[in-house]
Amino acid sequence: MSALPDPTVTNREHELLASVPDGLFIDGCWRRATGGVTMTVSDPATGEPVKEVANASPEDGLAALDAASEAFPAWAARPARQRAEILRRAFDLLQERKEDFALLLTIEMGKPLPEARNEVDYGAEFLRWFSEEAVRIQGRYGENPEGTGRVIVSQHPVGPCFLITPWNFPLAMATRKIAPALAAGCTVVIKPAELTPLTMLAFAQLLQDAGVPGGVVNVITTSMSGDVSEPIIRDPRLRKLSFTGSTRVGQRLLRQAAHGVLRTSMELGGNAPFVVFDDADLDKAVEGAIAAKFRNTGQACTAANRFIVQRSLADEFAERATDRVSGLRLGRGTEEGVAIGPLINEAAVTKADRLVQDAVARGAFVTTGGRRAGERRGAFYEPTVVKDVQPGSEILHEEIFGPVLAIIPFDDEQDAVRIANDTDYGLVSYVYTENLARGQRMIERLQTGMMGLNTGVVSNAAAPFGGWKRSGLGREGGAEGIHEYLQTKYTLAPRS
Ligand code: NAP
């Protein structure tokens, strides 16, 4: 591991970072990348390097697929109860190591420590949930309509899987894929984002400690994601690609996956509307807005992007939101009371600022924030409220991925539905109304894979997470999640 020059890093952080493996995890062993090449991981709150880790080549990627392919038959043949017990042990270990994982998330990704703890809880829940689902994989046994034969429907693991995860939830996005894959009897190669590999490396160690056999989970960290991924995706041994990230990269990977007619799951971008009707409980709506917008400093696919507020209420909503937002403390996620951490890098700060400036140039007003937090090192942008955003503003059509709450007024329910659905995305929508009939109409009319009705947080391991339109394909979590890693076979047998 490299030296740690940053004085803001405490002894505990030094020890934790030193304990995280820095190699590739292939076939149950830690190894260097080909040629000993490494890459640097930095703390986005300071911009300082914190650790060097292995930087995999395309050959290393294929070695990981070799291991996953060889381990597959034995893992698929393990009784479901044994797979479930290993996942349950992993859940228990993650609970035990919660503080370490939370701190690691904060160091490499920047989120405030309380939010990092929430991510560990959320991520752990997928291990518990799919340890319970593993033993409930069911088929069907029936009779054909002619009465001449039996139809036997059975489920089988799809085979070796390639999992690609983003930097914004380095643990939860990984467990949401690994847990159902292992529960179903699949083996995996996982590639975390270049910016946040440490959590996954520590998690690989945890899975080994929980009893996951060599080759069942393989981790490759790399700065050459395209070059390393494509040969894996094009290899005929691979049977499934599961990706979480941007729609742009998802589209590219779908083209590659078409070659081998791979099963794919795609958890892609969003542009979530947050609709507040004049019959809403305004206190709850403002609190929901803060949760839906500022969690992870706005860097969540589920982050509310457009606050569509009934005109009669828009000024009051903006005033109350401004009050709350101007009180949010910004800083390194390890500091006490911090609610807004850094963005992941400078490019993210530039993007948030560009979107705010464009909205202002088109007639919107900034009521708080609206600029870089220049007095700090690291990638900080002030938590911001922009009101009276005009149609055509870029902020309405791009995923902001930053701490900017943009308010657009609407006149009636039809108008609200039209604005909310005016996007190529359809991941999640939020609606605040105390009118039950209206709430039910919105469930019917919004084009969205998930909906928060009077709540600003929708994620739950027991629910099928996923989007409509360009927000993706497939579902993660819930009873549906394991089926992404299973394939169906039916057998027709004549009645004797
Ligand atoms: P991204 O640029 O698409 O990257 C996501 C992952 O794909 C990273 O591991 C990245 O690796 C890898 N990648 C990039 N180019 C690749 C290529 N050519 N071949 C193979 N892998 C490649 O997205 P991001 O900026 O990290 O994440 C933010 C996006 O993720 C947002 O759009 C957000 O909405 C979406 N997201 C969606 C969900 C959901 O569940 N729907 C959840 C979280 C995030 P490197 O970073 O190392 O290049």
pLDDT digits (tens, 9 = 90+) for 124-176: 999 999 999 999 999 999 999 999 999 999 999 999 999 999 999 999 999 99
Q: Determine the Cα–Cα distance for residues 65 and 55; give it in Å rounded to an integer.
A: 16
Identify the residue whose C-alpha is closest to ligand 1 atom 13. 225
Parse the chain into domains and list their residue ranges: 11-268+472-489, 272-460
Supply the CATH classification number for the domain 272-460. Answer: 3.40.309.10
The answer for 117, left when phi > 0, alpha when psi is -120 to 50, beta otherwise, is alpha
Mean of the pLDDT values across residues 471-486?
97
CA 329 to ligand 1 center in whole angstroms: 28
Identify the residue whose C-alpha is closest to ligand 1 atom 23. 245
Residue 459: pLDDT above 90?
Answer: yes
Q: What is the pLDDT of residue 355?
A: 98
Rounded to two decimals, the pTM is: 0.96
Residue 27: pLDDT above 50?
Answer: yes
Please list every protein residue whose CB sits less than 6 Å from any atom of ligand 1: 164-169, 173, 191, 193-194, 225-226, 229, 244-246, 249, 252-253, 267-270, 301, 399, 427, 467, 472
For residue 197, the one-letter residue type is P
Using alpha carbons, select from 46, 132, 51, 55 the residue that is nearest to residue 87. Answer: 132
Name the phi and psi angles at 437, rounded to 5. -65, -40
Residue 5: pLDDT above 50?
Answer: no
Q: What is the pLDDT of residue 6?
A: 53
Atom of ligand 1 nearest to the CA of 222: 47
Atom of ligand 1 nearest to the CA of 256: 19
Using alpha carbons, select from 181, 196, 76 the residue that is nearest to residue 127. Answer: 181
Atom of ligand 1 nearest to the CA of 269: 34
Digit-coded pLDDT (tens) for 175-190: 999 999 999 999 999 9
When pLDDT is cut at 50, 70 and 90, the band that residue 377 belongs to is: confident
What DSSP letter does each residue of 126-168 carry, written as one string?
A: HHHHHHHHGGG---EEEE-TTSSEEEEEEEEE---EEEE--SS
Mean of the pLDDT values across residues 78-101?
98
Catalytic positions are 267, 301
HSE of 217, CA atoms in CB hemisphere, 13 A: 28
Using alpha carbons, select from 470, 474, 471, 472 the residue that is nearest to residue 486. Answer: 474
Q: Tell me how far CA of residue 54 lies from CA of 15, 30, 32, 215, 241, in angstroms.
A: 19, 10, 6, 18, 23
Q: What is the pLDDT of residue 3?
A: 41
Identify the residue whose C-alpha is closest to ligand 1 atom 28. 245
CA 320 to ligand 1 center in whole angstroms: 34
CA 164 to ligand 1 center in whole angstroms: 8
Using alpha carbons, select from 200, 133, 206, 201 the residue that is nearest to residue 173. Answer: 200
Radius of gyration of the chain (CA): 23
Helices marked H in 210-300 — which ranges?
A: 225-234, 247-259, 282-294
Residue 174, classified by CB atoms within 10 Å of its CB into exposed (0-12), middle (13-18) or buried (19+), is buried
Segment (H or E) for 30: strand 29-31
CA 242 to ligand 1 center in whole angstroms: 11
Residue 409: pLDDT above 70?
Answer: yes
Task: Report the share of the chain in percent with pLDDT over 70.
Answer: 98
CA 308 to ligand 1 center in whole angstroms: 27
Whether residue 190 contacts residue 228, with contact meaning beta carbons closer than 8 Å, is answered with no
For residue 266, the one-letter residue type is M
When pLDDT is cut at 50, 70 and 90, the band that residue 378 belongs to is: confident
289-328 core/surface letters (b: 16 or more CB in 10 A; e: else):
bbebbbbbbbbbbbbbbbbbbbeebbeebbebbbebbeeb
Digit-coded pLDDT (tens) for 257-292: 999 999 999 999 999 999 999 999 999 999 999 999
- Average pLDDT across the chain, whole number: 96
- Which superfamily, per CATH, for 11-268+472-489? Aldehyde Dehydrogenase; Chain A, domain 1 (3.40.605.10)
Q: Determine the Cα–Cα distance for residues 439 and 454; give it in Å rounded to an integer.
A: 9
Q: Determine the Cα–Cα distance for residues 23 and 38; give it in Å rounded to an integer.
A: 9
Q: What is the DSSP letter of 78?
A: S
Whether residue 234 contacts residue 257, with contact meaning beta carbons closer than 8 Å, is answered with no
Q: What is the pLDDT of residue 192?
A: 98
Residue 403: pLDDT above 90?
Answer: yes
Name the phi and psi angles at 9, rounded to 5. -85, 125
Residue 4: pLDDT above 60?
Answer: no
Residue 2: pLDDT above 80?
Answer: no
Residue 333: pLDDT above 60?
Answer: yes
Fold: same for 11-268+472-489 and 272-460: no
Mean of the pLDDT values across residues 205-218?
98
Q: What is the pLDDT of residue 390?
A: 96
